[in-house]
Amino acid sequence: MSDNLSVLGKARAAYQPKLPSSLKNGALKVSINKGTATESVRDQEKIKALFPNTYGAPVVSFTPACGCSCGSESKAIRVGVVLSGGQAPGGHNVIAGIFDGLQSISKESVLFGFLGGPSGLENGKYIQIDAKLMDAYRNTGGFDIIQSGRTKLETTEQFDRCIKVANDLKLDAITIIGGDDSNTNAAVLGEYFQAKGASCVVCGCPKTIDGDLKNEYIETSFGFDTAVKTYSELIGNIMRDANSAQKYWHFIKLMGRSASHIGLEAALQTHPNICLISEEVKAKKMKLSEVVQFVADIVAERASQGKNFGVALIPEGLLEFIPDVGVLISELSEVLAHHEKEVEGLDTQAKVEKLCGWLNTESANVLKSLPVGIQAQLMLDRDSHGNVQVSLIETEKLIIEMVAKELKKRSDFKGKFAALNHFFGYEGRCAAPSNFDADYCYSLGFAASVLAFNKMNGYMSSVRNLTKGIENWTAGGIPITMMMNIERRHGADKPVIQKALVELDGAPFKYFAAHRDVWAKTESYTYPGPIQYWGPSEVCDVTNFTIKLERGAM
């Protein structure tokens, strides 16, 4: 790996991430301060019944213990690590933090990496991560040190296989690095382990570029900062091109199916002419036709000024938040599940006519109003549960086609509308982490080693006060159960970590809403450029707008 590093890669490998003061002296020199008992965000009785062994644990924070040489080394511990779900910048630094934390406990401590995600844990496929291997991946993007996977651990047979693997390797702890679903898995697995009297504990680390795993104690999920800065560089490049040629509208779809945090942060960084926020669309109960009219109005207003160009940001999950389209998607999933054979082999137009007979009138009208290409995607692309895969729908193309159709109907529109579409998603998931993510992830991993050493079962690593300077970051852990609620998943009630959506009364959205009208009419574009790794702290260590606005730091 090290032989393949670029000049930048070699320089980044030498970067030593910074740690909060509570972790600087190593995992043994940490005092653990416990708060009061916690409860879940909702459905307290149901969550408590499902997690009788781990529910109600306190939030813990770390402070520096004595700095003397006493207790400089302890008994070696053995820990396994799992990367779960989609990639996010900084994952390797979480593992590096765990590795270095374990080494600070004892040079004989061992870190195992399970290969390919949760399935590696279940099937006992692993490697031992030593210093040479770890050094080759420090401060790099991606999850390729052990790869990731999306296997869901949910049956007692799977849990028992995991216990056997943990016992065979004599593990003291397993750390699962993932998003809301993955950390829900961690909590369920930890509860099962404790119920069965296993000596191994299970901890989690908060990962997702979507930014929807956050709360009072998880101020941001790792990878979000780097991913949005990467997207914003690309958006800025397109803005510069749009303002240079002044003849195209660029519609850019951004990752974020369940929440619009990426789109909102990218808008705060780049100032586009249009940025749709799914949560606002849902709150206003905007129909698809109203969303199209909103976009068309801005295009027409700019055209009246002689500006036949612009940039629009579209969240990946927009369609599910539009009420009438959401109902259509739900009905289509049901209809296709029961009438698949009856429409098999028909062309798109014939399928639409057939399906409309089983849909309610409004949903049928919405389906008929969609471009043929989008109709085909809605009808053909279904997941293993029979649901339409919304993430595969080219929402940006849908908006372009329907806006063009709307503008043609307007006799007073004298401008030109030529549009190009883009999707920025995978470009940001494995980028080399920003200094913020490099430091944050390393701190999360180091904190996880403290949780593992102290047998904190069912906890998630937490690092807070992220706008106060790294020296003042507060490391600790929070019980995963306190973030949970009950949701209906595939016909059954399931405990899951509550997703954090964009808050329309929150400071980031309010700032955006106060400026978007000006951005719509003018070229207030900002060009963030590439992520900076060296230079003044206000340039290379800067946190993103979302965190700063949420924490009152700007």
Q: Compute the Cα dihedral for 464, 216, 498, 435 and give only its sign.
A: negative
For the residues 489-515, what does the mean pLDDT come to? Answer: 93
Shared-domain flag, residues 272 and 344? yes
What's the confidence (pLDDT) of residue 388?
Answer: 64
Catalytic residue flag (residue 517):
no
Rounded CA-CA distance 211/241 in Å is 29
Residue 388 DSSP code? B
Tens digits of residue pLDDT in 155-189:
999 999 999 999 999 999 999 999 999 999 999 99
Contact assessment for residue 137 and residue 123, using Cβ atoms and an 8 Å cutoff: no
Q: Is 80 exceeded by the pLDDT of residue 72?
A: no
Tens digits of residue pLDDT in 414-466:
999 999 999 999 999 999 999 999 999 999 999 999 999 999 999 999 999 99
Tens digits of residue pLDDT in 362-418:
999 999 999 998 898 888 656 555 556 767 789 999 999 999 999 999 999 999 999
Q: Which of 454, 478, 497 is the last residue of a domain?
A: 497
Shared-domain flag, residues 48 and 81? yes
What's the confidence (pLDDT) of residue 330?
Answer: 85
Residue that has been written with the tokens 């009219």 in this structure: 293
Token pair of 241, please?
A: 């091109």
Q: How many other C-beta atoms lie within 10 A of the C-beta of residue 16?
A: 10
Tens digits of residue pLDDT in 17-52:
999 999 999 999 999 999 999 999 999 999 999 999
Q: Which of 452, 475, 497 is the last residue of a domain?
A: 497
Q: Which helix (DSSP H) or strand (DSSP E) does residue 78 occupy?
A: strand 78-83
Shared-domain flag, residues 247 and 141? no
- For 46-55, 459-468, 490-499, which range has the lowest pLDDT when averaged over its residues? 490-499
Strand partners, 496: 485
Shared-domain flag, residues 453 and 541? no
Shared-domain flag, residues 110 and 251? no
Shared-domain flag, residues 155 and 190? yes
Strand duo 30-37 + 78-83: pairing: unpaired
Got the DSSP string for 239-277?
A: HHHHHHH---EEEEEES-SS--HHHHHHHHHH--SEE--
Shared-domain flag, residues 121 and 269? no
Q: What is the domain-level CATH number for residue 524?
A: 3.40.50.460
Could you tell me the residue range of the domain that residue 529 belongs to?
224-428+506-550
Token pair of 29, please?
A: 């020199």
What's the confidence (pLDDT) of residue 354?
Answer: 93
In whole numbers, what is the pLDDT of the chain averaged over residues?
94
Rounded CA-CA distance 230/517 in Å is 25
Shared-domain flag, residues 407 and 463? no
Q: What is the domain-level CATH number for residue 84?
A: 3.40.50.450
Query: Based on the structure, what is the number of domains in the chain?
Result: 2
Per-residue confidence at 339, pLDDT binned at 50, 70, 90?
A: confident
For the residues 540-554, what does the mean pLDDT come to? Answer: 93
Helix (H, G, I), strand (E, B) or coil at 479: strand
Shared-domain flag, residues 178 and 284? no
Which of 221, 238, 260, 237 shows the shortest CA–CA distance to 86?
221
- Taking the C-alpha atoms of 375, 258, 232 and 445 in order, what is their torsion angle to the nearest 10 degrees? -140
What's the confidence (pLDDT) of residue 334?
Answer: 84
For the residues 49-59, what does the mean pLDDT come to? Answer: 97
Q: Rounded to two decimals, what is the model's pTM?
A: 0.94
Q: Is 90 exceeded by the pLDDT of residue 230?
A: yes
Q: How many other C-beta atoms lie within 10 A of the C-beta of residue 500?
A: 20
Query: Which listed residue (43, 181, 210, 541) is catalytic?
Result: 210
What's the confidence (pLDDT) of residue 382?
Answer: 60
Shared-domain flag, residues 104 and 250? no
One-letter amino acid for residue 314 of the chain: I
Contact assessment for residue 541 and residue 438, using Cβ atoms and an 8 Å cutoff: no
Shared-domain flag, residues 98 and 177? yes
Strand partners, 16: none
For the residues 511-524, what does the mean pLDDT come to? Answer: 98
Per-residue confidence at 8, pLDDT binned at 50, 70, 90?
A: confident
Shared-domain flag, residues 45 and 132? yes
Q: Is 70 exceeded by the pLDDT of residue 491?
A: no
